[in-house]
Structure 1
Amino acid sequence: MAGPPQSKADYVYASLLDDLRNARISGGTPLRATEIAQRLGVSITPVREALRRLENDRLIRYEQHHGATVIDLSADALVEYYNVRAVVEGLGARLAAGRITEDELTRLWGMHERMVADEKAGRYELLGEQSREFHLAIADIGGPAFLGAHARAVRNNFPVPAHASLWLDPDQARNHLTVHEQLLKALKAGDGTTAERIMIDHVQFSGQYRLDRG
Structure 2
Amino acid sequence: MSNKLTRADQLRESIEEDIATGALLPGAPLDEAELTARFQMSRTPVREALLQLEAAGMVEMRPRHGAVVAKISLDRLVEMFEVMAELEAMCGRLAARRMSPEQIEALRASHFACQAAHDAGDTDGYYHLNERFHCLIYEASHNTYLRDQAKALHKLLRPYRRLQLRVKGRMNESFGEHQAVVDALAGGDGDAAAAALRGHIVVQGERFGDLIAALAQVQAQANVG
Normalising by structure 2, we get a TM-score of 0.85
Counterpart position of 2:92: 93
Asked if structure 1 preserves the Cα contact closer than 8 Å seen for 2:89 and 2:194, the reply is yes
Counterpart position of 1:190: 188
Asked if structure 1 preserves the Cα contact closer than 8 Å seen for 2:59 and 2:69, the reply is yes
Counterpart position of 1:3: none
Distance 1:176 1:163 in 2: 12
Asked if structure 2 preserves the Cα contact closer than 8 Å seen for 1:23 and 1:162, the reply is no
- 1:86 to 1:48, Cα distance in 2 relative to 1, 3 A: same
Alignment of 1:134-213 (within 5 A): 134-160=133-159, 164-166=163-165, 168-169=166-167, 171-205=169-203, 208=208, 209-213=210-214
Q: Which runs of 5+ in 2 are unaligned?
A: 216-225
Deviation digits for residues 134-182 of structure 1, max 9, x if unmatched? 112101111442212111111222331586132x356322222121111
Normalising by structure 1, we get a TM-score of 0.89
**How far has the Cα of 1:205 moved from its partner?**
4.3
Counterpart position of 1:46: 45
Query: What is the RMSD of the two structures over their aligned residues, measured on CA atoms?
Result: 1.9
- 1:159 to 1:44, Cα distance in 2 relative to 1, 3 A: same
Counterpart position of 2:7: 8
Structure 1, 86-95 or 157-166: larger mean CA deviation: 157-166
The AA in structure 2 aligned to 1:24 is A
Distance 2:212 2:60 in 1: 24
Distance 1:73 1:42 in 2: 30
- 1:81 to 1:156, Cα distance in 2 relative to 1, 3 A: same
Moved over 3 A (4+): 211-214
Counterpart position of 1:108: 107
Distance 1:94 1:131 in 2: 19
Asked if structure 1 preserves the Cα contact closer than 8 Å seen for 2:60 and 2:67, the reply is yes
Deviation digits for residues 62-104 of structure 1, max 9, x if unmatched? 2221121221111112101111110111100010001011110
Structure 1, 18-27 or 169-178: larger mean CA deviation: 169-178
Asked if structure 1 preserves the Cα contact closer than 8 Å seen for 2:181 and 2:196, the reply is yes
**How far has the Cα of 1:185 moved from its partner?**
0.9
Distance 1:82 1:191 in 2: 23
Structure 1, 121-130 or 84-93: larger mean CA deviation: 121-130
Q: What is the number of residues matched between the two proteins?
A: 208
**How far has the Cα of 1:55 moved from its partner?**
0.7
Q: Which has the higher helix share?
A: 2
